[in-house]
Structure 1
Amino acid sequence: MGGIRVTETATGADWRAWQESWDRQQEWYMPDREERFRVMLDMVEAFTGPEPRVLDLACGTGSITDRLLRRFPKATSTGVDLDPALLAIARGTFDGDERVTFVTADLKDPGWTAKLPHDTYDAVLTATALHWLHSEPLAALYGQIGGLVGEGGVFMNADHMIDTDTPRINAAERAHRHTAMDRAKAAGALDWAAWWARAAEDPVLAGPTAERFAIYGEHADGDMPSVAWHAATLRASGFAEARPVWASPSDSLVLAVK
């Protein structure tokens, strides 16, 4: 943790309300977010059945874990993240649920996998998180993930993946999307900055929020390579097959099978 203090999960907060407000904030950026999660879980079921052992990578508030367990009550999940504020919400939301474990770890630390409770997983899932990494550390992370996924298991990454060969399409899509976002914001939707401002004012989350900004700063300066890059890098990391299984105009879901 490089000297960063880990905040204990506090009691007395309405963790479910914070979880839901995070979802609404993320949906402001990605209105088709739930469809993306549905396809992700469809593919988990197709490859691993209804009782998978899942690693929720860069789990945040536990959005994937929440949907996983509602759909597959016999699944188990390990959530891993470094963000103390989002982990506080996740731990509070799932407090007492023996199916769920949370681990504080930095995915850029080569030894982060040693903190996990299992050596292998049926599925490793992540969404809207790994664009915080530059391509070189992301490729290294993919190599580690290749060692965590069991034979026949899957890895899925849902994120912004930009094809630089289509600048006109990219510009038109972005302009159209931001017009809709502006309308929603005028109607009261919270963006990233406004959501974090509320967290910073909350008596329970203020401390963890200050810690997370000390760790990360305002936002990522990572990369958003193309779908083709992700698929090729995953194949080079030990996966037999990799390709997108869902896409919106702005996001893609890449699946890799061991």
Structure 2
Amino acid sequence: MTGAGTDAGTATSENGAGTDWQAWQDSWDRQQEWYMPDREERFRVMLDMVEALAGTAPRVLDLACGTGSITDRLLKRFPEAVSTGVDLDPALLTIARGHFAGDPRATFVTADLKDPEWVTRLPYASYDAVLTATALHWLHSGPLTTLYGQLVPLLRTGGVFMNADHMIDESTPRINAAERAHRHAVMERARGAGALDWADWWALAAQDPALAEPTARRYEIYGEHADGDAPSAEWHARTLLEAGFAEARPVWRSPSDALVLALK
């Protein structure tokens, strides 16, 4: 990507008028896919399980939603669904709000998931599904355990929670090392062909008039990257059961990541 105007959105005013929010959404997807080439597969499995357990018109909470990647796929697959996206990142929320402007099915809320009162900002008292992907590793295990406990009363009976994220099995260090070396070799080849990494993408966002100010604010909040944990899928399932869910287990895995589903 040579500039925000060629691979992301070009803004014509500071409030975002004229910004190509679809281009920024696509650019975010490509940057994330550089790290996770199986990203769409985990989204497919996630939405398959939403349909299986919550039907085709669910009320969904897109937790730590970023640009609304889950919401985007949810509404394309299930036109009768509604989604509430919640996040603290002002730049990613700016993209989400711009991308979904005028769509009454999508609402976005600014809230810190470490704030005990974050649930009071939501427009609904209950949801059919709570979904999140590649986000909660920004939390350490203690705050994440607390968050899992907060999700149980947010879900209707029979509601579903799914978390797709980095979930490392520390019992297999040689397998882990081999997988990581192979994955990074593939990433470096893609980098040589022009793929953007995290730092490159944020540098471009800082150059766009519509995103420069919210990008500066997100660095004040997070720094370069938050410092969280990546416990195993088994830890997540066990912690969700201890939080009050009736069932919990992985429903998809890659060599480094997993999608854990919990049912109320």
TM-score (norm 1): 0.96
2:56 corresponds in structure 1 to: 50
2:140 corresponds in structure 1 to: 134
In 1, the alpha carbon distance for the partners of 2:26 and 2:257 equals 22
1:173 paired with 2:175, answer no
Deviations 1:135-163 (A, max 9, x none): 00000000001111110010000000011
Aligned partner of residue 108 in structure 2, secondary structure: strand
In 1, the alpha carbon distance for the partners of 2:262 and 2:55 equals 16
1:103 paired with 2:109, answer yes
Alignment of 1:228-243 (within 5 A): 228-243=234-249
Deviations 1:190-212 (A, max 9, x none): 00000000001111111110000
2:74 corresponds in structure 1 to: 68
1:10 paired with 2:16, answer yes
User: What residue identity is the alignment partner of 1:158?
Assistant: A
In 1, the alpha carbon distance for the partners of 2:210 and 2:86 equals 21
**CA contact under 8 A between 2:249 and 2:262: conserved in structure 1?**
yes
Unaligned ranges ≥5, structure 1: 1-7
Change in 2 beyond 3 A, CA 1:69/1:9: farther
Identity of aligned residues (%): 76
Alignment of 1:24-39 (within 5 A): 24-39=30-45
Instruction: Select 2:149's aligned residue among 130, 143, 149.
Output: 143
In 2, the alpha carbon distance for the partners of 1:9 and 1:109 equals 28
1:250 shift after superposition: 1.3
Aligned partner of residue 222 in structure 1, secondary structure: coil
2:201 corresponds in structure 1 to: 195
Alignment of 1:83-122 (within 5 A): 83-122=89-128
1:4 corresponds in structure 2 to: none
In 1, the alpha carbon distance for the partners of 2:255 and 2:66 equals 24
1:3 corresponds in structure 2 to: none
Instruction: Select 1:79's aligned residue among 81, 85, 91.
Output: 85
1:10 shift after superposition: 3.1
**CA contact under 8 A between 1:160 and 1:251: conserved in structure 2?**
yes
**CA contact under 8 A between 2:15 and 2:210: conserved in structure 1?**
no
In 2, the alpha carbon distance for the partners of 1:221 and 1:89 equals 24
1:9 shift after superposition: 6.2
Deviations 1:21-61 (A, max 9, x none): 00000000000000000000000000011000000000000
Deviations 1:98-133 (A, max 9, x none): 001100000000000000001110000000000000
In 2, the alpha carbon distance for the partners of 1:222 and 1:48 equals 30
1:11 shift after superposition: 2.4
In 1, the alpha carbon distance for the partners of 2:15 and 2:152 equals 31
Instruction: Select 1:59's aligned residue among 29, 41, 65.
Output: 65
Moved over 6 A (4+): none
In 2, the alpha carbon distance for the partners of 1:220 and 1:230 equals 19
Instruction: Select 2:252's aligned residue among 226, 246, 253.
Output: 246
1:247 shift after superposition: 0.5
In 2, the alpha carbon distance for the partners of 1:224 and 1:137 equals 13
Change in 2 beyond 3 A, CA 1:59/1:9: farther
Instruction: Select 1:158's aligned residue among 164, 181, 184.
Output: 164
**CA contact under 8 A between 1:9 and 1:88: conserved in structure 2?**
no
In 2, the alpha carbon distance for the partners of 1:12 and 1:250 equals 39
User: What residue identity is the alignment partner of 2:184?
Assistant: H
TM-score (norm 2): 0.94
1:220 shift after superposition: 1.6
